[in-house]
A = this chain, B = another copy of it.
């Protein structure tokens, strides 16, 4: 195999109750990446469309991740990465994770898959780190493993794939402002009240239990964030109003997607998810704020291979 074309999907991290540890994978939103073997060793960024990304391999998330893999498994040939970037950087749905995960996934395939997808997370993390200012696998894990994932430890990269209640559909609304993860991290306090932390881990434990038992009511009661959201909400126009609009329209839960500014909701069934999306969009329409709206089943596969030759 000399070339592979893949679909590297977006993802939603945190899911309200699981800051830095929970995430799920989106289905219809993602980048197209073509990775081709080259004669010269090393990694180069080829054609980039859709967004203005660095072409310096030391600065591009995809190539930095790729080089981390090739440092451990050197090759006598090299790789060129072409990217149709459809996920906007700074939108809060794992733009850098898609690039980093896509690059290592594609190269791993071209090498005959010496690594499992779980093992690829640590290479992708090198790319993620230059984008977000801190190495977190909460977006990478769902892109590489699919479905819902939990990062037990960001230090040791102990990552678990969780089950996926089949009726869940995500709504994601992206107001057209760019919010860099590095900035939305800076607003957080280094300490949190113990009583809020207890609420948060009670909710996280219940959320995980609800995924195993298909308990949509419990899922709904668990999707709360009293720790991070109060700070980050300040950076997102009409966050609380949009969230409330989602809940009133039947969403099980709603919160900031990753570090924002996108806002996600989880609903039971596509019909409710669409109604929820309309209600969220109405808030931004009244503001004349441009936005994109996505509906997505949970992508249990993660990255998809489009073609290979």
Taking Cβ atoms with an 8 Å cutoff, the residues of A that contact B are 18-22, 150-154, 158, 160, 162, 188-195, 197-209, 212, 218, 221-222, 227
Q: Give every chain B residue within 8 A of A190 (Cβ-Cβ).
A: 193-195
Decide if B202 touches A205 in the complex (CB within 8 Å): no
Q: Give every chain B residue within 8 A of A160 (Cβ-Cβ).
A: 206, 209, 218
A205 to chain B, nearest CB (A): 5
Decide if B158 touches A205 in the complex (CB within 8 Å): no
Interface centre among A189, A206, A218 (most CB of B within 10 A): A206
Of B162, B192, B195, B203, the residue contacting A152 (CB under 8 A) is: B203
Decide if B202 touches A153 in the complex (CB within 8 Å): yes
Give the CA-CA distance A188 to B195 in the complex, in Å: 11
Q: Give every chain B residue within 8 A of A22 (Cβ-Cβ).
A: 205
Decide if A201 touches B199 in the complex (CB within 8 Å): no
Decide if A162 touches B209 in the complex (CB within 8 Å): yes
Closest to A190 in B: B194
Give the CA-CA distance A227 to B197 in the complex, in Å: 10
A22 to chain B, nearest CB (A): 7
Give the CA-CA distance A50 to B27 in the complex, in Å: 63
Q: Give every chain B residue within 8 A of A205 (Cβ-Cβ).
A: 18, 21-22, 150, 152, 204-205, 207-208
Closest to A203 in B: B152
Q: List 5 interface pairs A-B (beta carbons < 8 Å), by A numbering.
A: A158-B206, A160-B209, A191-B191, A192-B192, A192-B194
Q: Give every chain B residue within 8 A of A189 (Cβ-Cβ).
A: 194
Of B21, B158, B162, B201, the residue contacting A21 (CB under 8 A) is: B201
Decide if A200 touches B201 in the complex (CB within 8 Å): yes
Decide if A202 touches B21 in the complex (CB within 8 Å): yes
Q: Give every chain B residue within 8 A of A194 (Cβ-Cβ).
A: 188-192, 227
A245 to chain B, nearest CB (A): 24
Decide if B192 touches A197 in the complex (CB within 8 Å): yes
Give the CA-CA distance A91 to B179 in the complex, in Å: 51
Additional A-B contact list (4), CB under 8 Å, known A21-B201, A152-B206, A204-B205: A150-B206, A162-B209, A190-B193, A209-B212
